[in-house]
Every structure is written in C-alpha cells, then in structure tokens.
Amino acid sequence: MTKPALGGEGRFGEDYLYFYGEPLDASAEAEAGLIWQLLAVEPGMEVLDLACGHGRIANALAARGCRVTGLDATPLFLDRARDDAAARAVKVTYVHGDMRDLPWTSQFHRVINWHTAFGYFDDAGNRRVLTQVAHALKPGGRFALDVSNRDRMVRQFQSSGVDERDGSLLVDRRQLDLVTGRMVIERTVIRDGRVHRVPFFIRVFTFTELRDWLLDAGFASVEGHGEDGGPLTLDSRRMITVAHR
Ligand SMILES: C[S@@+](CC[C@H](N)C(=O)[O-])C[C@H]1O[C@@H](n2cnc3c(N)ncnc32)[C@H](O)[C@@H]1O
C-alpha cells in the first residue's frame, strides 16, 4: 500500500511559526491544565499528543509528570518541540508521522488532538484519524479533540481576519461551504518583502456530527465542553469533545 502524502504542506512552516510559534506560550500552561482536568490525567500515564506542532502542549504535559509522545507531520515543528523540551529539561518522544496512519495498538491512556488540528482531509481521511485514535488507545482510554464551535462560528461569521506581527501580516479570507462542511480559506502572508498565498480548507463540525463520527469510530460515549471546560453552549468559541473508549 502506498503511504498517503502527509497533509499541511505550505500551510505549516516558517510563516506559521513566525506568527503562532511562541515557545513559552502562556496559554499552553492553562490549556494543559484544562486537558489534565477534562481527561483526568494522572502522573505516569502514557499520553499521545496527535499533531503536536511545536510541542507547546506536549512539553507542558510532560512537565506535569506524564509520559508524552508527540506526533506531527512537519519536521521543522518537531525540531522546535525538541529544542524547547531540552530547554525545559522535560522528556517527550517526538515522532514524525501521519495522523491517518498510527503505529500503535492499545498503547495510550489518553490521546489529545488540540488547537484545530483535525479536519484537514476528505471525510474518509478525517474519519480514519478517529479510528486510528480508538485503536491506539487502551480500553477505557480517553480522547480530547479541540476544534472551533461551528454553531457559534456561523452565528458570528467573519469572512476575513488579520494577524499582524512586527509589521508582517497574515490575512485570511474565509468562505463556509455548507454542502461540504468545509471552511475554505485563502491565506495571504506578507513578510520580509514577499507575498505568499496559501489556499487550504478545514472541515468544521457541529457537536452532533462529530459525536456521531466518534461513536462510529468505536468510542463508547462522547461529551462536549466549551473552552472553559464547562458545558458546550452557543457562546462557546471552542468545542472540546471528550470521547471514552
Ligand atoms: C494548528 S497546528 C496545532 C498544533 C498543536 N496541536 C498545538 O496545539 O499547537 C496543526 C498541526 O497539524 C500538523 N499536521 C498537519 N497534517 C498532519 C498529518 N497528516 N499528520 C500529522 N500532523 C499533521 C501540522 O504540522 C501542525 O503542527
């Protein structure tokens, strides 16, 4: 079988790190605390951070005492994650790989996929990520998936957004395709005198649809939370689904 191409080329690289890659991201500590609470993580547990990026959550969880593996498709991000782990004197196993093709069976007590790192593929590929997670979890294991809350996004739809850093700009123009359930984004980065255009899409979900996908993937139950860990509401910016195997 030919290995599927890893996703995210073009979108995840130098520019992403420039705009979003602060290594000591203060919010990462708070997010790690929320994960700890929502997933009832305990020191010594085996935790997989799936699509871990530059390791902001993986390294924070390792500092709290669990045994963390981080998998990502972007070598540049993994290098940054390893450097940050070394600077913080924490141990994380970083693996280069594709979230649709995980090499583990019943290995982890907990899996997280955080900060909109889901929905990059066609629907068969997206569903495959969920079945791979179920397979990688031990029986009774738990999975937290953190994405945008589509219901709120639709109510307060913003067709464009701009991030600015030291005079460089990242501009997104967005369209929501109601037939495919995809947010289709035309990203323009203006940095160091060059203009770089990156088109991409991301699948967006209501809780009801994502819950059903997770149940189809083999999870026994699924609950929904907002970004504060409380109940998911129309005002929640984030949708954190916690699925039990
Ligand atoms: C929005 S970032 C989130 C990173 C991280 N979870 C965080 O909280 O900062 C999405 C990540 O997905 C990774 N990614 C994209 N396609 C992937 C794939 N096929 N397999 C594994 N990781 C992938 C990217 O390299 C990027 O690091």
- With beta carbons less than 8 A apart as the criterion, state whether 217 and 127 touch: yes
Q: Specify the ligand 1 atom closest to the Cα of 20.
A: 9
- With beta carbons less than 8 A apart as the criterion, state whether 229 and 34 touch: yes
Residue 193 has pLDDT above 50, yes or no: yes
Pocket test for ligand 1, best of 72, 77, 98, 201 (most atoms within 8 A of CB): 72
Note the pLDDT tens digit of each residue in 173-184.
Answer: 999 999 999 999
Ligand 1 touching residue 35 (CB < 6 A) = no
> Tokens representing 23?
């290594």
Ligand 1 touching residue 73 (CB < 6 A) = yes
Q: Looking at residues 228-244, what average pLDDT do you find? A: 98
Question: Which pLDDT value is given to residue 149?
Answer: 98
Confidence bin at 21 (pLDDT 50/70/90):
confident
Query: Hey, whose CA ends up nearest to atom 26 of ligand 1?
Result: 53
Note the pLDDT tens digit of each residue in 139-182.
Answer: 999 999 999 999 999 999 999 999 999 999 999 999 999 999 99
Nearest alpha-carbon partner for 57 in 76, 34, 32, 81: 32
Q: Across-strand partners of 139?
A: none
Predicted structure pTM score: 0.95
User: Which residues lie below 8 Å from residue 86, measured CB to CB, with a gap of 6+?
Assistant: none
- With beta carbons less than 8 A apart as the criterion, state whether 12 and 77 touch: yes
Q: What are phi and psi of 229, to 5 degrees?
A: 85, -10
Query: Hey, whose CA ends up nearest to atom 9 of ligand 1?
Result: 53
Ligand 1 centroid to 51 CA: how many Å?
4
Query: Hey, whose CA ends up nearest to atom 15 of ligand 1?
Result: 8
Ligand 1 centroid to 117 CA: how many Å?
5
Ligand 1 touching residue 48 (CB < 6 A) = no
> Tokens representing 47?
């935790």
25 or 238, greater pLDDT: 238
**Greatest extent of the chain over all pairs of C-alpha atoms, in Å:** 52
Kind of pairing, strands 108-113 and 92-96? Answer: unpaired
Strand order in the sheet with 168-177: 160-165, 168-177, 182-191, 194-203
Q: How far apart are CA 69 and CA 111, in angstroms?
A: 9
- With beta carbons less than 8 A apart as the criterion, state whether 159 and 130 touch: no
Pocket test for ligand 1, best of 11, 19, 68, 74 (most atoms within 8 A of CB): 74
Pocket test for ligand 1, best of 48, 57, 99 (most atoms within 8 A of CB): 99
With residues binned 3-state (H G I as helix, E B as strand, rest as coil), the percentages for the chain, rounded to 5, are: 30, 35, 35
Q: Specify the ligand 1 atom closest to the Cα of 120.
A: 16
> Tokens representing 155?
């109510």
- With beta carbons less than 8 A apart as the criterion, state whether 210 and 145 touch: yes
Ligand 1 touching residue 70 (CB < 6 A) = no
Residue 6 has pLDDT above 90, yes or no: no
Note the pLDDT tens digit of each residue in 76-95.
Answer: 999 999 999 999 999 999 99
